[in-house]
Structure formats: C-alpha cells, structure tokens
Amino acid sequence: MQEMPENYEEAKIIIKNSVGSEVEKAYLKKQKLKAIFVTALSFGATAAIGIITKLPLNVLVTLPIAAAFSLHQFLPILFQKKVDKRIENGDYFKKKTEEQVIDIAKKVVNEANEFERNKVK
C-alpha cells in the first residue's frame, strides 16, 4: 500500500514513477473496456430509438451524438503516450498548480492501492 503524498515534490515523484507501470497498464485496460462498453451502449440505444420510433431520420440525428460520446471515451486513451512523455520531460507540471499535482498523485495512489487489493484477491 502506498502512502498519500504530503507535498508537491512527493506528488511529482509518485506521478513520474507511475509512467509505464503495471498499475497504469491495468488502468488503461479498464478504461478501454469502459470505452468499448459505452460505445456499444450508445450505438445500441441509438438503434433502439430508431426502431421504436420507426423514423430513420431519428437515427441520422442521434448517430453523430453517439459517435461523439464514444470518441470522448477514447480520446484520453489515445493521448496517453503523449501525456507520459510530457510527464517524463517535466512539461506536464508546468501548467498545473501544486494542488492539482497533489490531487493527481492521490488518484494515482488510490488506483495503485486498488490494483494491489485486487491482485491479492
């Protein structure tokens, strides 16, 4: 179990050490599954609305909304490598306040602790 960061420097170290770790890989896998589920759900709902209302125009209107919602789920996964490079270079921290960095590190620690608990089970 990891300890929560107390200050900005500890938070930066935790975030940098998380890049490429097992925890990050497991988190991304979980996010991918969530994105696939949301995509299937949104397109399924769109098809159901079209079938129930018997209006093909309704599907044409709701289909772009479903596609946008799906894209919104996949974008963070697609840009993860870019974010990892920014973290390694230190550029990631330039536009963040100390509070934001500490909050992000706390989320990383929570995810790591959850990963460890699930690994033990």
pTM reported for the whole predicted model? 0.67
Q: What is the pLDDT of residues 16-63, one digit of tens each?
A: 888 888 888 888 888 888 888 888 888 888 778 777 877 766 667 777
Q: What is the pLDDT of residues 68-77, one digit of tens each?
A: 878 888 888 8
Q: Is the Cβ–Cβ distance between 98 and 8 less than 8 Å? A: yes
Structure confidence at residue 50 (pLDDT): 75
Q: Is the Cβ–Cβ distance between 115 and 23 less than 8 Å? A: yes
Residues counted in the chain: 121
Structure confidence at residue 103 (pLDDT): 92
Cβ contacts of 86 within 8 Å, gap of 6 or more: 92
Cβ contacts of 69 within 8 Å, gap of 6 or more: 38, 39, 42
Q: What's the chain's average pLDDT?
A: 84
Q: Is the Cβ–Cβ distance between 42 and 70 less than 8 Å? A: yes
Q: What is the pLDDT of residues 71-94, one digit of tens each?
A: 888 888 888 888 888 888 888 888
Q: How far apart are CA 89 and CA 85, in angstroms?
A: 6
